[in-house]
């Protein structure tokens, strides 16, 4: 009977996973990291108050929400991407007060600093 069980995978008892590394895919999350600091945002660079997003240092979340508003409205994302492991770059557009002028805005985040430029 044991010979049949060895040949039939469905008859085996489930094994216990003892691996040290577990990877979890999190679609819609972008990471910027340096050393033991990790910034996890949505793909547009916004920190929403979700459990897996924020600024983490040594596995402790220090910041859970962060966003930019122009006249009370979030700018529209045009393009965003990780440039390297410790750097992220995003381009945004917003209408200025009155709706006649368009503001183009570049936001760059690195694990060391965050810089922003309005064009």
Contact 43, 28 (CB under 8 A): yes
* Domains contained in the chain, number: 1
Question: For residue 21, is it within any domain?
Answer: no
Residue 30 lies in a domain: yes
- Tokens of residue 43, six digits: 């793909």
> What residues make up the domain containing 110?
26-118
HSE value, Cβ hemisphere, 13 Å, CA-based, for 57: 4
Predicted confidence pLDDT, tens digits, the chain (119 residues): 555 555 655 556 666 666 666 666 678 888 888 888 888 888 888 888 877 888 899 989 888 888 888 878 888 888 888 888 888 888 888 887 777 777 777 777 776 655 555 55
Residue 51 included in any domain: yes
Total-model pTM = 0.64
DSSP 5: H
């Amino acid at each position: 009977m044991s010979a049949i069980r060895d040949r039939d995978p469905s008859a085996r008892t489930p094994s216990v996973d003892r691996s040290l590394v577990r990877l979890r895919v999190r679609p819609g999350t972008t990471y910027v990291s340096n050393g033991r600091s990790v910034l996890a945002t949505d793909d547009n660079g916004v920190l929403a108050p979700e459990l897996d997003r924020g600024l983490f240092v040594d596995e402790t979340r220090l910041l859970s929400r962060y966003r930019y508003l122009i006249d009370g409205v979030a700018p529209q994302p045009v393009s965003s991407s990780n440039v390297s492991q410790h750097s992220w770059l995003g381009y945004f557009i917003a209408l200025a007060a009155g709706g006649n002028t368009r503001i183009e805005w570049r936001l760059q985040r690195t694990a060391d600093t965050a810089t922003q430029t309005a064009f």
